[in-house]
């Protein structure tokens, strides 16, 4: 199955759970794309004492998952040159939703 995930928060527990879900889906053999929007573009490198988002991010990438980040959201935070994932657009987000058999938003 193709699963599209839209993450809109950098709140550690919610972001951690979104990435855990994404890792689980990949390890179960599903194709997964994750689109970061709004403050979620700040999740790379996010470490919390209980919820290590960055570790889950790395597991997801290692498992072959694809991460896209909203370019407008990155630009508004002056982060467009600091992310390891492709700077993307709303067209890319729409394409992901149309590509997916199921979409989930966190």
pLDDT in tens, 17-76: 999 999 999 999 999 999 999 999 999 999 999 999 999 999 999 999 999 999 999 999
Calculate the CA 99 to chain-centre distance.
16
User: The whole model's pTM is what?
Assistant: 0.94
- Distance between CA atoms of residues 11 and 61, nearest Å: 20
Residue 94 belongs to a domain with what CATH number? 3.40.1260.10
State the average pLDDT over residues 89-105.
98
Task: Give the domain extent around 77.
Answer: 2-105
Report the residue count for the chain: 106
């Amino acid at each position: 199955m193709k699963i599209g995930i839209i993450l809109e928060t950098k709140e550690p527990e919610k972001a951690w759970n979104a990435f855990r879900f994404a890792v689980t889906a990949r390890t179960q053999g599903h194709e997964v794309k994750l689109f970061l929007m709004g403050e979620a573009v700040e999740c790379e490198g996010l470490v919390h004492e209980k919820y290590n988002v960055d570790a889950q991010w790395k597991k997801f990438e290692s498992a072959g998952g694809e991460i896209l980040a909203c370019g407008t959201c990155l630009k508004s935070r002056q982060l467009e040159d600091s992310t390891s994932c492709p700077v993307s657009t709303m067209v890319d987000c729409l394409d992901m939703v149309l590509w997916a058999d199921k979409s989930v938003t966190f």
